[in-house]
A and B are shown apart, each in its own frame.
Chain A
Amino acid sequence: MQNKIIIAGISALVLALLSGAASAQSVDETVNQLFSNATGWFVSFIFSPFPGTSFPWIVAWLVVAATVFSFYFEFIQFRAFSHSISLVKGDYSDPNDAGEVSHFQALATALSGTVGLGNIAGVAVAVAIGGPGATFWMILAGLLGMASKFTECTLGVKYRNEYADGTVSGGPMYYLTKGFAERGLPGGRVLAVFFSVFCILGALGGGNMFQANQAHQQISGIVGGYPGWITGVIFAIVVFAVIVGGLKSIARVTEKVVPFMGIMYVGAAIIILAMNADKIGWAFGQIFAGAFTGLGVAGGMVGALIQGFKRAAFSNEAGVGSAAIAHSAVRTKEPITEGFVSLLEPFIDTVVICTMTALVIIITGQLTIDPATGNYITEGGRIVTATGASGVGLTSAAFESAFSWFPYILAVAVVLFAFSTMISWSYYGLKAWTFLFGEGKAKEITFKVIFCIFVVIGAAANLGPVIDFSDAAIFAMAVVNIFGLYFLMPVVKRELKSYLSRLDTGEIKKFK
């Protein structure tokens, strides 16, 4: 039965390919048009600014929440940082639990879902629109966001469903339903349903379309321009083989290779910074100056702030709730330990990897400066770049200026990051789908097929509408999730107090 579905799916895609070959260009255009029309209103709503300003309410929502959580938990992200590292190293892991999911595995899986094109291409977009100053706000948002992730991942473990066969389902839809009910608050189920809907849209947008789109851009940047839907179809077939066909070997290889690519990417960035060591001071100067004056970018300081916060949120998903789904399956008697482990993610994702991307773009002089004023040359709301590139092309050009062969490595990395993010988000979307519609093979396959179709759409559409929709969907998840977190944070505080006191008395054992 499974095989018949696979064959049917592949045949359908091949037919589409053949019939579309004749009108390759117009397929892209049609898809793009349909897409912008369908999603324009949603994007406008999510990003509507406060009246009289250009400041989107959603950015304030995310950052205020992160700040509130940071204060409420007395800056746990800094207090518990070294404890988090100990947990990931396994210092507090009971040897009898060997063979279960370890903290490191939960962290690595969640990271491979969040580290994606947002770190490479998204940052390039932010810096091109908001200038180097966006980097400062991005780092700040990353540091504050650690508290949001801490809160949601603790709740994800605390309110998960454990089934008789040993499998686990957890995430915001569960903690919103169960947590609210436990505290006697109404509306938990309604919030959970809204979250699930937005999670599905987010999975199709940022977890899927954006990845395919930028992967195609990088590949076509190297081999030459060709219609996006072709990349989309190839990606869709591979994703289909993994998530429907159960071809786990591809996923396993990807999961193993992605961390190495991440380390290599950061390593290459560090080498470029070392090669331009004399300019590091200047680069940081630009970042600070840009953060508070804008240095000529559209919107000035506020423009930089908005772009920085947007990119951080999109990249590290703090407050979005997706990480809670990944972390909820870890076998632990202390839910708060997953909170501690997860707060490392925004740090690694944003403060380290995103910052590396931004620094390389700045230090290699990709952003053109008007020598007379010291401001950045802008055109149509964006900084004019040295090569005219944008998105992943800008990052590629930045690295290429130091290593001429890097675009090829970046293409491989981009494809792998995109793929691993797609696999992770197909899982998150699936969990939301089954929460809404119930478990069952047919229901699962329906979602998975829809997911694969959106891979093609994402690759075919232009960057603009895709990134706007992706952002909007993921931020919509954050709206619902954070609303719930505000009500449930006392639960986390109780867990934290109890754990820390038991840690002090030695009741919580250190095994190594």
Chain B
Amino acid sequence: MPKKKYVVACDGSQASIRALQFAVNQARASDASILIAHVLEWSPYSFLTPEEIEERHKRRNEELARAKDALVDGLVASVSSEGLEVDSVIRYGHVAKTLVEIAEQEAAAQIFIGRMGDGSFTSRVFGTVAATLAEIAPVPCTIVP
């Protein structure tokens, strides 16, 4: 029977670090593996200048490399050093929807996400990733404060 997989949304913020730590503790207790998911906010419906279009492929490669080196590899190493099975994925898209896609493709058991704790007007009008995820996730979702 394959191990349970916990998807943890990481964007480098303190909230996501807390979520990762919580997920690690949970995974250790229930013998699950961790999948660190870093989503770069992107929409195919945005507007670019001609120069941005020309440079986009190059910038994309730079962004992916930076995400990997500056954030994801470090997190993978720290989880690995705690003795857990860990993998990572870096994707572009709408953050909440992409996390849902990742969870579905990887047949994840749970999604862990940090919460910014911002109850301001803009958060309530435009939503937050955590709140959106709570609404649309296909699997249980743990929001870590």
A residues at B contact (CB < 8 Å): 90, 93, 95, 98-106, 108-109, 112-113, 165-169, 248, 251-252, 255-256, 258-259, 325-326, 329-331, 423-424, 427-428
Contacts and interface: CB of A to CB of B under 8 A. Distances in A.
A108 B44 CA distance: 11
Contacts of A248: 49, 52
A165 B58 contact: yes
A338 to B, nearest CB: 12
B42 A255 contact: no
Contact of A104 (B40, B45, B49): B45
B50 interface: yes
Contacts of B53: 101, 105-106, 109, 326, 329-330
Of B50, B60, B92, chain A has the most CB atoms within 10 Å of the CB of: B50
Interface of B: 40, 42, 44-58, 60-61, 63-64, 91-93, 101
A98 B47 contact: no
A171 B42 CA distance: 27
A302 B101 CA distance: 58
Contacts of B51: 427
Contacts of B56: 100-101, 329, 331
14 contacts: A90-B44, A99-B63, A103-B44, A106-B53, A109-B47, A113-B50, A166-B55, A166-B57, A166-B61, A255-B47, A329-B56, A423-B49, A424-B49, A427-B49
Nearest to A423: B49
B50 A427 contact: yes
A251 B49 contact: yes
Nearest to A242: B49
Contacts of B46: 105
B60 A167 contact: no
Interface of A is mostly: helix
B55 A167 contact: yes
Contacts of A252: 47, 49
Given A93-B44, A167-B55, A100 B60 contact: yes
Given A99-B42, A100-B60, A167-B58, A108 B47 contact: yes
Q: Sorted from nearest, which 8 A-B pairs have the closest CB atoms?
A: A166-B58, A99-B92, A102-B44, A98-B92, A427-B50, A255-B47, A329-B53, A166-B57
Of A101, A103, A258, chain B has the most CB atoms within 10 Å of the CB of: A101
Of B47, B48, B54, B55, chain A has the most CB atoms within 10 Å of the CB of: B47
B64 to A, nearest CB: 8
Contacts of A95: 93, 101
Nearest to A426: B50
A427 B51 CA distance: 7
Nearest to A108: B47
Given A112-B47, A255-B49, A256-B47, A101 B57 contact: yes
Contacts of A165: 58
A427 B53 CA distance: 11
A99 B92 CA distance: 5
A113 B49 CA distance: 10
Contacts of A259: 47
B93 A98 contact: yes
A231 to B, nearest CB: 23
